[in-house]
A = this chain, B = another copy of it.
Amino acid sequence: MNSNNSKQNKTDHIVTFIGDSDHKTSINTFSNFEILNKNNYQKDDYSIGGAVSILENTFADILGKEDAMFFPTGTLANHLAIRKLCGTKQNVVVQEQSHIYHDSGDSLSRLSGIKLTPLGKNKSYFTLKELENYLHELNNTRAHNPVGAVSLESPVRRKYGQIVPFKHLESISNYCKSKSIPIHMDGARLFIMSAITKIDIKAYSQMFDSVYISLYKYFGSPFGAILAGDKNLIDGLHHDRRMFGGSMHSANIAAIATLNGVEEFQKKFKHSISNSKELLIKLNTLPQLNIETIENGSNVYLVKLDSDINLQSFIKNLENKSILLNQDEIQSNKIRLNINVTVLNQSVTKIFDSFKEAISQSR
């Protein structure tokens, strides 16, 4: 027991504002694997059965869906959900700023012959009017390729984790239902969104025919994704998973890590949010620093420092105090803060004092 505590202590004092998860590497995770696997779950058979089944049932329950399936990546979970939902209607409406549209190598078009129609250029979401207009336009085409599915991502990674407002999701979902168009949710960070909006996970998931959740972004799994939906959607999907090369061996290690991680996340994340709110209010009292509030934001904040503060030495000085952060990739004159459970690793006062000290050290 002591030896495991000492392992954990290596990183347990670090507060990181980089990414959505704690600082533990997967190697730390696996050093504690015997403890993680306290329930002695069984092995899977190429991602089928054993601990993987327990994971799938657990997430089907949490999301209020009939069934669920494990995937090695979110890219594949999104792909196979949309591929099955749209069937032969190979035209799918997505946000122009979505991960599916920009960061999957046009996989749906190239591998499944599905056209992605991007709406809401440069915005975190498209309006109902835009969707209605597009469907209307389609009526005037000579060879009709009707919309077979709509996909919505929220929070939107490319837009600083902006949340699509619940009311808006509801209106799109209702419209799709009225038109019998299936609707998929890229909910990689759904659990973060739900903790922030205080709207129940199931209130979100019930609006969608299928929901994808990431397992490694904040549950501490080394990799993996879950896709949940009704029995009809999930049934037989393991054949497609294998066809794509996604039926990996020993998926149980992701399942076991996740089953522990979900509990820990749900225990800790709400507390992290309230602590970070307190911290951000305090930080904003510092005259050299301005925290920008992102409209419909989730757990991402941008910080503008006075121009006489050297950004690189500010980052370095905080690192010396076990606080990790980075410049924003796009707006490189600003610091990006991602709130995650590591904010609990130091007291609000201690983090605040470190920021204050780092400012005076970095002029």
Q: Interface of A with B (CB < 8 Å)?
A: 3, 7, 25-27, 30-31, 33-34, 37, 43, 71-77, 79, 104-107, 110-112, 216, 222-224, 239-240, 242-253, 256
* B26 x A243 contact (CB < 8 A): no
- With contacts A27-B43, A27-B253 known, what are 17 further pairs, Cβ within 8 A? A26-B250, A27-B33, A30-B30, A30-B33, A30-B253, A71-B245, A72-B245, A73-B245, A74-B245, A75-B243, A75-B247, A105-B240, A105-B243, A106-B243, A110-B243, A222-B250, A244-B244
Assembly stoichiometry (copies):
2
Contact B242 A105 (CB under 8 A): yes
- In-complex Cβ contact of A216 among B245, B250, B256 (8 A): B250
Contacts of A248 in B (CB 8 A): 72-73, 223-224, 248
Identify the closest chain B residue to A243 (Cβ).
B105
| Chain B residue nearest to A27 in the complex (CB) | B37
Residues of B within 8 A of A76 (CB): 244-246
Instruction: Evaluate contact between B243 and A104: CB separation under 8 angstroms.
Output: yes
> Which of B223, B245, B251, B253 meets A107, CB within 8 Å?
B245
Q: Contact at B249–A246, with CB atoms within 8 Å?
A: no
Rounded to whole angstroms, the CA-CA distance of A30 and B222 in the bound complex is 12
9 examples of A-B residue contacts, CB within 8 angstroms: A25-B43, A74-B245, A75-B244, A223-B251, A224-B249, A244-B246, A245-B246, A246-B246, A248-B248
In the bound complex, residues from chain B placing their C-beta under 8 Å from that of A73 are 245-249
Point out the residue from B3, B34, B246 that lies within 8 Å of A72, measured CB to CB: B246
A243 B107 Cβ-Cβ under 8 A: yes
Known: A73-B245, A248-B73. A222 touches B253 (CB 8 A): yes
Question: A72 vs B242: C-alpha distance in the bound complex, in angstroms?
Answer: 11
Taking the closest CB of chain B, its distance from the CB of A76, in whole angstroms, is: 3
Report the bound CA distance from A250 to B7 in whole Å.
19
CB neighbours (8 Å) of A77 from chain B are 245
In the bound complex, residues from chain B placing their C-beta under 8 Å from that of A105 are: 239-240, 242-243
Nearest CB on B from A155, distance (A):
18
5 smallest A-B Cβ distances: which pairs? Answer: A76-B245, A105-B243, A222-B250, A30-B30, A75-B245
| Chain B minimum-CB-distance residue to A80 | B245
Q: Smallest Cβ distance from A7 to chain B, in angstroms? A: 8
In the complex, how many angstroms separate the beta carbon of A174 from the nearest chain B beta carbon?
A: 31
Residue of A74, A110, A223, A240 with highest tally of chain B CB at under 10 A = A223
- Residues of chain B with a CB closer than 8 A to A110's CB: 243
Chain B residues within an 8 Å CB radius of A7: 34
User: Which of A7, A37, A244: most chain B Cβ within 10 A?
Assistant: A244
